[in-house]
A and B are shown apart, each in its own frame.
Chain A
Amino acid sequence: MTAQESLNLINEVLNNSRKSILSKNGKHFILWGVLLTIVSFVIYELWHTTGNPNWNLLWVAMPIIGFPMVIIISKKDADTPQNAISRQISGLWLAYCAFVMLIFVASVFFLKPMQMNLSLIIVLLLGFTECASGIMLKNWTIIISGCILGVGGAFAAQSVQSAEQLLLFVFGGLIIMLTGFIVKSQYK
């Protein structure tokens, strides 16, 4: 092998490995995006129809359905390792989930209804996490989507009330799903 051939080989192997690792991340984005869209739309419909905000407790369906599905997907890709980027993205989204679950539980137990604009906080964090993922993946579409979702969503959460706020999460779910398809096509 010449020096140039060796360098080309290193580049090719690294690129192929990176693609196979990061395309796996795309599946997770699609899974959570679909789940968020469906759950938020179902809660919106139930709240809107019955006028009962207690349907918000159905949000627990997200981790109950989501995490077992993550385990099933991960088992299918068990031989695909993690690299620094995929590990950081997983860590970032896990931190987001932890923040959202803690703030949701805390608000249920310690706050009176509507004392805190939960939707604003959650959608802002969602946009931030999406944007940070875009920075790690070096993808401008994801970065801009995250900014629109976070900043636009926060303003929208202030402007609309009760059940209509859930439509923000339907939009958020669609953005995350779109991110998944972008990641899968970028690293195909």
Chain B
Amino acid sequence: MFPKLDPLLHSELRLAVMSILAEVESADFSYLKKQTGSTSGNLSVQLDKLSAANYISVEKGFKGKVPCTTCKITETGMEAFHNYVKALQEYISK
């Protein structure tokens, strides 16, 4: 029996965002946009979805006078990401 893949993570952009955030302490919106090659609108929507599931925390602030959105993976998000990777490896090994 294959483990069920987390539907929230089984999307290209959301998975890319979670992969980046699993590696770093926190990342700016502009960094995530640059690394994923997505549009601002699409990234914003996907971040909201991850935030609503408590997979990431989103903090809005300012860097000098420039608005800045900082994202950080939560413990729930990290656990979900690990489980997702584990499930993928099981799919491949069977």
Contacts and interface: CB of A to CB of B under 8 A. Distances in A.
Interface of A: 1, 3-4, 6-7, 9-10, 13-14, 16-18, 20-21, 78-83, 87
A135 B20 CA distance: 23
Which interface residue of A3, A80, A82 has the most chain B CB atoms within 10 A? A3
A81 B71 CA distance: 11
Interface residues of B, number: 26
Contacts of B30: 79
A1 B16 CA distance: 13
Nearest to A10: B19
B19 A9 contact: yes
Interface in B3-56: 5, 10, 12, 15-16, 19-20, 22-28, 30-31, 34-36
Given A82-B24, A83-B23, A7 B10 contact: no
Q: Is the interface of A mostly helix, strand, loop or mixed?
A: helix
Q: Is the interface of B mostly helix, strand, loop or mixed?
A: helix
Which interface residue of A6, A78, A82 has the most chain B CB atoms within 10 A? A6
Contacts of B63: 78
B26 A81 contact: yes
Top-3 shortest CB links A-B: A3-B91, A81-B24, A13-B19
A78 B15 CA distance: 24
11 contacts: A1-B10, A1-B15, A3-B5, A3-B92, A7-B85, A9-B12, A9-B19, A17-B24, A18-B23, A81-B26, A83-B25
B89 A14 contact: no
Given A13-B36, A21-B24, A80-B31, A7 B88 contact: yes
